Amino acid sequence: GSDMRGALLADVDFDQANMEDAMVVLGTAQLSAQLQMTLRDHASWVDSNGAEGARADLEGADLSNAKLSGTYLSGANLRECNLSWARMAHCDFVLADLAGANLMGTDLRHGDFRGADMTGATLRGAKLADSNFGTALVDGGEGRGSAARRPANLTRADLTKADLTGTNFGSATTTDAIGIDNDAP
């Protein structure tokens, strides 16, 4: 039941830990300590409406193949983060909060965005080929089953001139999104 959101978890082994009802973003545990601190400061900035912490500015950052190297951003709080022109191909953003994030021109090819909240995100000119914006199953933890399903949310997102080749929108919410043909089969 502990709250470890924002804790620096680099190189921590949770294999034998009882994580029942714990609030932790294990997906970021494999990130560098520096990136974890940036994300922690960003979460503090979001939670305090800018009074504490600092907005994460990862413009042009190279996090490509993060999923393939064992690190990912699943469940991360990246709300209103600047990730413009970053290289993030093959990253895992399952259930991440990217609402209002600036992802303009970002390379997000083969990204996994199942259940991510991208409400109002700017994805103009982003490379999203072969990405998945489907539905994520929300795990009940400790072997408890869960019927909760959360679709990706692209409400009011701007995907003008984004490369959407082979992208799966599944049951994603795309209300008032720009650059997606909501009438397509």
Which of 148, 152, 46 has the alpha carbon at shortest distance from 93? 152
Q: How far apart are CA 174 and CA 87, in angstroms?
A: 24
pLDDT digits (tens, 9 = 90+) for 50-87: 899 899 898 998 877 554 444 467 778 889 999 999 99
- Which token pair is 185? 């089969």
pLDDT at 185: 43
The one-letter amino acid at 164: L
Q: How far apart are CA 174 and CA 110, in angstroms?
A: 19
Contacts of 4 (CB under 8 A, 6+ apart): 22, 23, 24
Q: What is the DSSP letter of 103?
A: -
Which of 61, 67, 141 has the alpha carbon at shortest distance from 103? 61
Q: What size, in residues, is the chain?
A: 185
Can you list the residues of the chain whose pLDDT is less than 50?
67-71, 183-185
Q: How far apart are CA 135 and CA 126, in angstroms?
A: 21
Q: Determine the 3-state secondary structure of 112 from DSSP.
A: strand
pLDDT at 138: 72
Q: How far apart are CA 139 and CA 141, in angstroms?
A: 5
pLDDT digits (tens, 9 = 90+) for 81-97: 999 999 988 888 888 89
